[in-house]
Amino acid sequence: MLDTHCHVYKEEMNNYIEIIEECNRNSISMIINAVDIESSKEIIDLSKKYNNVYASIGINYDSIDKAIEKDLVLLEDLIKKEKVVALGEIGLDYYWTKDNKEKQITFFKKQLELAKKYDLPVIVHARESIQDVYDILKESNVRKGSLHCFSGSLEMAKEFIKLGFKIGVDGPITYKNNKKGIEIIKNIDLKDILIETDSPYLSPEPNRGKQNSPLNLKYIVEKISDIKEISKEEVIKVTTNNAKELFRI
């Protein structure tokens, strides 16, 4: 299995090495996602050390206030490193604050330009910003990547798929009363789905509230197999292929 979006590194969890090694023993690979230049460097180092780690690098909304123009130059240098498979997570978040909206948009657009230049997929975060994210992606001509932890409507999911993007499914799909999430999975093709954990956040049931890890991917697989009434093996096979193809792993 392949976790296409997690934050298994020092700043986010003390036991990250243990988790990476345990995943390795269980044949679980992961694309660790950065939020700023520092974490981008750290993840690239981890990817050199561990064969089950791949790097997705970028500057995210929660580090946007301290981000400066020069960071984009540093980021471009890092893109050229081995095992960098995507730019992310990048995107827009208007839930926490809209005060820095213009700066968020500027950095999002500039990172999309880099993705285009280096022909890399993007891993996109959108919270209370889905229409802006859609419009900017459409205009950018970047046509591959994922909408991580997708929380929009079924109609919107279909629009992103039409643009060429995949829908990231994680822990919340296992939560009670997630009717919207279930409706989306029922009505889109398995080939358009990626599985992810967003570890250490969003632990699925039955581990909700605890620290999350890519080892919990199995609960997300189980839920998708229930909803789509297909075997777990089929879910693993197809979603792993989706990820391998998209991120060229």
Q: Which residues contact Zn ion by CB under 5 A?
A: 198
- Report the residue number whose CB is nearest to Zn ion: 198
Closer CB to Zn ion, residue 126 or residue 235? 126
CB closer to Zn ion out of 71 and 198:
198
CA distance 75 to 68: 11
Instruction: Tell me whether residue 1 or residue 126 sits nearer to Zn ion (CB atom).
Output: 126
Q: Name the residue nearer to Zn ion (CB basis): 175 or 231.
A: 175
Write the single-letter amino acid at 159: E
Nearer to Zn ion, 93 or 198 (CB): 198
* CB closer to Zn ion out of 192 and 198: 198
Q: How far is the CB of 58 from Zn ion (least distance, A)?
A: 11
Q: How far is the CB of 240 from Zn ion (least distance, A)?
A: 20
Min CB(234)–Zn ion separation in Å = 27
Residue by residue, what is the 3-state secondary structure of the chain? CEEEEECCCCCCCCCHHHHHHHHHHCCCEEEEECCCHHHHHHHHHHHHHCCCEEEEECCCHHHCCCCCHHHHHHHHHHHCCCCEEEEEEEEEECCCCCCCHHHHHHHHHHHHHHHHHCCCCEEEEEECCHHHHHHHHHHHCCCCEEECCCCCCHHHHHHHHHHCEEEEECHHHHCCCCHHHHHHHHHCCHHHEEECCCCCCCCCCCCCCCCCCHHHHHHHHHHHHHHHCCCHHHHHHHHHHHHHHHHCC
Pair 136, 108: CB distance under 8 Å: yes
Minimum separation from the CB atom of position 219 to Zn ion (A): 18
Residue 198 CB, nearest approach to Zn ion (Å):
5
Smallest gap from Cβ 11 to Zn ion, in A, equals 13
